[in-house]
Amino acid sequence: MARLHLLVRGHVQGIGFRATVFDRAAELGLKGWVRNNRDGSVECIAEGPADALEALRLLCRQGPPGARITSFDELSEPERGEFSAFHVQPTH
């Protein structure tokens, strides 16, 4: 098990990015969260098997239809086991 922390910038809000990430994370059985940030970025932390995290990373790198990604930062970390499910957090 591993942990992935993503920060995606560009035209990524108001186009269903969080909903797309939430749906895919649920399909993959991942735990964590996705949220909009006030600076216009989308942030995601997910924990689970490496192959599932890679699938989510690829989805976030491309984004849903309408996304225009200008910056994509990722950090791989050891799993902390702090989540029981995947959810959408309020804007931070």
18 assigned to active site:
yes
- Among 10, 17, 39, 18, which residue's Cα sits nearest to residue 86? 18
DSSP H or E stretch at residue 19: helix 17-28
Torsion angle in degrees (nearest 10) through CA of 49, 61, 41, 27: -40
State the catalytic residue, choosing from 3, 24, 35, 36: 36
User: Under a CB-based contact definition with an 8 Å cutoff, are residues 68 and 52 in contact?
Assistant: no
State the catalytic residue, choosing from 3, 9, 18, 37: 18
Residues identified as active-site: 18, 36
